[in-house]
Amino acid sequence: MNLSLYTDYPIWFVAFCFLAGAGYSFLLYRKEKRFNETPKWVRRTLPVLRFVAVTLLAFFLLNPLLKNITRTVEKPIIIFAQDNSESIIAGKDSNYYRTEYLKNISGFVSSLSDKYDTNVYSFGDKIRNGFSFNFKEKQTDISSLFDEIETRFSNRNVGAVVIASDGLYNKGQNPLYSATQNKFPVYTIALGDTSVRKDLILTKVLSNRIAYLGNKFPIEIQLSARQLGGKTTTCTVSKGKDVLFSQQVVISGNNFSTSIPVQLDAKETGMQRYTIKLSDVDGEVSFANNVKDIFIDVLDGRQKILILADAPHPDVAAIKNALESNDNYEVNSFIASDFDKSLAGYNLVILDQLPSAKNPIQKLLADIDKAKIPVLYILGSQVSISVFNNIQKDINVPSNGGKMNDVIPVLSKNFSLFTMSDALRNYSSKLSPLQCPFGNYKTNSSVSVFLNQKIGLVETQQPLMLFSQSGEKKTGIICGEGIWRWRLQDFAEHNNQNIFNELIDKTVQYLSAKIDKSFFRVISKNNFYENESIEFEAEVYNDSYELINDPEVNLTITNNEGKKFPFTFNKTTNAYRLDAGVFPVGNYRYEAKVKVGAKIYSEKGEFNVSALQVEITNTIADHQLLYSLAKKNGGAMVYPNQLKKLANLLNAREDIKPISHSEKKLSDMINLKWIFFLLLTLISLEWFIRKINGAY
């Protein structure tokens, strides 16, 4: 600590402070009549006390400041991260990693703690603090480790990161890329076994999560085998005790892989569990990766979507392709003049550039209105604006002789009809312009605007995409053409159409969904992995259809054996939420109940928990990745029996050293408490001495 004194005035002004104190003391006690009658020590003490008090008060008028410089030394930080996934103990050395290895690692970290500030983490599908190593994580995400380190230790004195892993990752991006954001050396401890051992692996089962009652649905079974040339195995697909498919597979080489296509019948609705199994082969290193369960949700029918267009248009193809990527939709498209079928059975009608001058579709519009089928209008240069304004009351589009305007979409801040992913929310303002009818639009106050128009650099309140609801019928309007460009743009920038598909899917899902007027709703996914928490949300409505959360909501989960697990929902602002925790692999049913007044409402459903077996699919350690990761980031790779060598490498680095930090702080001296008490003591002591000696 280093203290210095500063003032706002030249230092020689302090002389005036001394003069002020001396003059005041001299003038006060020079003419004091009783002063000469007091003892000698009093005559000397009182002027000194008054001199010091006045001098100090005068000095504080100069606004003195104290400059305090504090220096601290920060040790270099060594971060040790242990791979806590199942693949570490999947090989022959599992007992070593559970016992002796953990003891050696604890000693290694302890040996560094005197010289370095050590931080210990475990990683798998999550990042955790401390020595909580049980090797039960179902996935490995090394890239998230570097993200976490960057977040927690940004601008800190990180000396090095030591990663103990087998180099196998199955979640997140390649750690060779994610490590580039960090500016410190990376050392790796190579765990696991790189030798190729006998193993039969059910690599992957490809299937859709949804099938439809009465239809056939495909699954594709991918398997591989190592060092088992000439052996045979039997692949079976079963449902409960019934074997639905069986095929013998001859393993033709020591590095063998193949795929088996299977067609199954969807005979029952609900969540169906199918077990795919490869019969065991003698000498395998592990039998756990020979079996997988898949869950198929069999639905009793799919949503039927009708697209009618004034003429062929790329917007129609873009929407149709987006919808057909979702198995929940059956899409039919026609030119309006060629459509002569019944509307019965359709859940949504999409009208592209209709009604138009050549296709007024008056009868079709009347049939749609009579059947109360939701409609999505897509406006463009061919739409008859006058007819369109007459058939709906949600928006009035100006008719300006066919003039069009390029409009950029801007997401409305108040839209809440459906949720969006962060990717869609962030990317919506980057989408290409649409061509919209020119002019000022007038909208009904009851509409919900999803996208507004940005013309040039000006964000307007003119709607580009909106929704409305009248009774049980919903309407959507896209006030422009050219959304096919959004699909191409999405693919060009992201190598997929996920954002565009989500936009269309969310739009159609909202419009085609039947209005749920139930007073009690339970919302949840129907498929979870074994490392995911089972979460539910619930909503309760009163007779005025207002959200309430006064009554208690209970839920009971039942497994296949009939064992029941009761839970009570937690209350949120105006709804309910429940985190039931992690459940074992299997099928489950649930029933939720709530009592509102004298009425009891209940909701039933089911979900499944799928096994996550990616850690045991590949058990051959990737030491090349660990070597490249260390070499690229200025470190080195060692083996578990070289921990002493690793400690020496760290200690020998000259760039891993303590950092001294200096902190400068200026503070007003007058704010120091002891100054106040000093002045109070001086003045009080002077008054007391004068008092006892008869002075006033």
- Strand-pairing partners, residue 330, are 304
What's the confidence (pLDDT) of residue 530? 86
What's the confidence (pLDDT) of residue 271? 81
What's the confidence (pLDDT) of residue 543? 82
Q: How confident is the model at residue 305 (pLDDT cuts 50, 70, 90)?
A: very high
Q: Is the dihedral of CA 620, 623, 624, 629 positive or negative?
A: positive
> Which of 191, 96, 195, 192 has its CA nearest to residue 637?
191
3-state SS, residue 187? strand
pLDDT over 90 (residue 489): yes
Q: How confident is the model at residue 186 (pLDDT cuts 50, 70, 90)?
A: very high
pLDDT over 80 (residue 36): no
pLDDT over 90 (residue 319): yes
Tell me the average pLDDT across 603-627.
84
pLDDT over 70 (residue 696): no
pLDDT over 60 (residue 477): yes
Quick: pLDDT tens for 535-566.
999 999 988 788 899 999 999 999 988 999 99
- Give per-residue burial for 129-150: e unless 16+ CB within 10 Å, then b: eeeebebebbbbbbbbbbbbbe
Residues 6+ apart with CB under 8 A from 131: 102, 106, 120, 122
Pairwise CA distance, residues 236 & 264, whole Å? 12
pLDDT over 60 (residue 59): yes
What's the confidence (pLDDT) of residue 593? 95
* Domains along the sequence of the chain with CATH: 2-70+666-692 (no CATH), 76-192+621-652 (3.40.50.410), 199-298 (2.60.40.10), 303-512 (3.40.50.880), 520-609 (2.60.40.1220)
pLDDT over 60 (residue 1): no
What's the confidence (pLDDT) of residue 612? 79
Q: How confident is the model at residue 349 (pLDDT cuts 50, 70, 90)?
A: very high
Are 352 and 504 a contacting pair, CB within 8 Å? no
What's the confidence (pLDDT) of residue 61? 81
Q: How confident is the model at residue 22 (pLDDT cuts 50, 70, 90)?
A: confident
Ranges 6-10, 136-140, 362-366: which has the least confidence: 6-10
Percentage, residues of the chain above pLDDT 90: 40
pLDDT over 90 (residue 678): no
Pairwise CA distance, residues 666 & 668, whole Å? 7
What's the confidence (pLDDT) of residue 8? 74
pLDDT over 60 (residue 606): yes
Q: What are phi and psi of 230, to 5 degrees?
A: 90, -10
Pairwise CA distance, residues 244 & 273, whole Å? 12
Tell me the average pLDDT across 22-37.
72
pLDDT over 90 (residue 38): no
pTM, to two decimals: 0.56
pLDDT over 90 (residue 135): no
